[in-house]
């Protein structure tokens, strides 16, 4: 019989989707990053701004052209908190909404929190699906990428942007931060738990 153990802590990564016009507004980028750090602690990774043209789903709401950047946080988190993290980022999106004449308050930024471990990258979503697991408060978890040496690999339902080499390289850099020993960071494993070798990777899904 297997013995349940506490989960290893994982790295919080937030994907920021925003129009170039909003991002270039004086002070907006700094205010957003400061608010994220207030909520989730100090950051240890900020990606370059990447062009986003994989879908037009967000064009009307956020504006065009769109850009994406990734923010990772120093403090590792319990993966059981993913639903709460998604609720928090939704609330932060609401804080940055702008008054739009005749259309209420439009969203100006899209925040997608995910958890990165040494073996996978998991996104939170409010949308159900056969490949998503219910967590709590209307939030689902989706394994978006699997790590098999030497890189992250997509699965059949992975979004096109997360399939791109640029995004997978960003997440690989963040994984390197997770794996690097750091005396000043909280331990990723609960006290007293012994390290064990991971099971061998299975064949890549078709």
Residue 180 is predicted with a pLDDT of 87
Query: In the numeric block, which tokens belong to residue 146?
Result: 């699997």
Q: Average pLDDT by consecutive 10-residue portion of the chain (206 residues)?
A: 92 97 92 97 96 90 94 97 97 83 70 97 94 95 96 95 96 95 54 47 42
pLDDT, position 184: 54
Residue 117 lies in a domain: yes
Residue-number span of the structural domain to which 34 is assigned: 11-179
> Would you say 147 and 178 are in contact if contact means Cβ atoms under 8 Å apart?
no
- pLDDT score at 183: 55
Cα distances (Å, whole numbers) of residue 163 to 23, 29, 54, 104, 108: 24, 26, 10, 35, 25
pLDDT of residue 120: 97
Asked if residue 190 belongs to a domain, the reply is no
The domain total for the chain is 1
């Amino acid at each position: 019989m297997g013995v349940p153990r506490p989960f290893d802590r994982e790295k919080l990564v937030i994907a920021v989707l925003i129009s170039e016009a909003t991002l270039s507004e004086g002070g907006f980028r700094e205010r957003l990053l400061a608010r994220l750090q207030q909520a989730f602690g100090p950051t240890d990774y900020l990606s370059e701004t990447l062009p986003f043209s994989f879908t037009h789903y967000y064009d009307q709401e956020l504006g065009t052209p769109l850009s994406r950047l990734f923010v990772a946080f120093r403090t590792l988190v319990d993966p059981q908190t993913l639903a709460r993290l998604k609720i928090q980022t939704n609330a932060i999106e609401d804080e940055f909404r702008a008054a739009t004449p005749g259309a209420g308050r439009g969203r100006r930024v899209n925040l997608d929190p995910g958890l990165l471990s040494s073996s996978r990258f998991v996104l939170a979503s409010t949308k159900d699906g056969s490949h998503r697991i219910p967590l709590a408060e209307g939030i689902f978890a989706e394994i978006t990428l699997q790590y098999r040496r030497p890189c992250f690999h997509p699965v059949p339902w992975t979004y096109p942007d997360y399939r791109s080499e640029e995004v997978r390289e960003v997440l690989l850099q963040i994984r390197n931060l997770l794996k690097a020993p750091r005396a000043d960071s909280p331990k990723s494993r609960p006290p007293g738990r012994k390290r064990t070798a991971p099971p061998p990777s299975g064949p890549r899904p078709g």
